[in-house]
């Protein structure tokens, strides 16, 4: 007669990056780590830093649904909403007795690069806030590289690195465990739009930088974890 096997306990790293596609189980793994941390001691706490912004009704419903689900799965975890100042929020909430979950890096980068009111901003304001700034064209414009109205394309400037550097520093200096969730979106076809290509490139660089900083990197697929790096 076969006996049911108990699931193997998850081991906590000082810092872990969890990557995966949509509905791959990456947030569930982060929640499982937080739940295990809370169960280890009555003196342990957990905080989730949520980076999503309610751009529309569907997004508002999605955020509300996630909040309700988290409350049931990890009842002891507090939630803090911070769409932009992620490094500052991480530094504020990280303590030796507190595990911090960041969910997610992809939406944080989206908020920096493509804010919800992007289309309403003047070019100079979008440059300061959005980091996909419009830059001056070189005199030698590529043939055919024009908009439909005859105006030349203006390639996006590189993503501002200051915020990312601050985040990497906050992860490295966090006194308590940190779990970061992000999307791995570079496995598909190359996007047609220039801005989207720039965002995919920026997210790929961000994932690499965070992965180099974290002790552990886990890739989720179909709810199953594949450990890519473990220096615990």
* Residue 216 three-state SS: strand
What residue has token string 């496995």? Answer: 187
User: Which is the catalytic residue, given 66, 93, 131, 153?
Assistant: 66
* Residues 82/93, Cβ–Cβ less than 8 Å: no
Which residues of the chain form beta strands (DSSP E)?
15-20, 45-50, 77-81, 98-103, 178-183, 216-221, 224-230
Burial class (CB in 10 A: 0-12, 13-18, 19+), 180: buried
Residue 153 a catalytic site member: no
Burial class (CB in 10 A: 0-12, 13-18, 19+), 134: middle
Active site residues: 66
């Amino acid at each position: 007669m076969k006996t049911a096997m108990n699931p193997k306990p998850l081991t906590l790293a000082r810092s872990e990056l969890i990557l995966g596609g949509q509905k791959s189980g990456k947030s569930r793994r982060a929640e499982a780590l937080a739940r295990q941390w809370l169960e280890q001691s009555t003196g342990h706490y957990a905080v989730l830093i949520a980076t999503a912004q309610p751009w529309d009704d569907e997004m508002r419903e999605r955020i509300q649904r996630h909040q309700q689900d988290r409350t049931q799965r990890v009842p002891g975890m507090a939630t803090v909403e911070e769409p932009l100042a992620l490094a500052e929020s991480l530094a504020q909430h990280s303590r030796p007795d507190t595990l911090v979950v960041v969910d997610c890096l992809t939406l944080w980068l989206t908020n920096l690069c493509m804010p919800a009111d992007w289309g309403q901003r003047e070019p100079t304001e979008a440059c300061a806030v959005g980091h996909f700034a419009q830059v001056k064209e070189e005199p030698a414009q590529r043939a055919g590289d024009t908009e439909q109205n005859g105006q030349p394309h203006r390639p996006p400037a590189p993503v501002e690195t200051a915020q990312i550097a601050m985040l990497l520093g906050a992860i490295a200096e966090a006194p308590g465990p940190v779990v970061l969730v992000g999307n791995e979106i570079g496995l598909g076809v190359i996007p047609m739009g220039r801005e989207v290509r720039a965002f995919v490139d920026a997210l790929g660089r961000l994932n690499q930088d965070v992965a180099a900083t974290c002790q552990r990197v886990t890739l989720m697929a179909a709810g199953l974890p594949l450990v890519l790096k473990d220096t615990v």
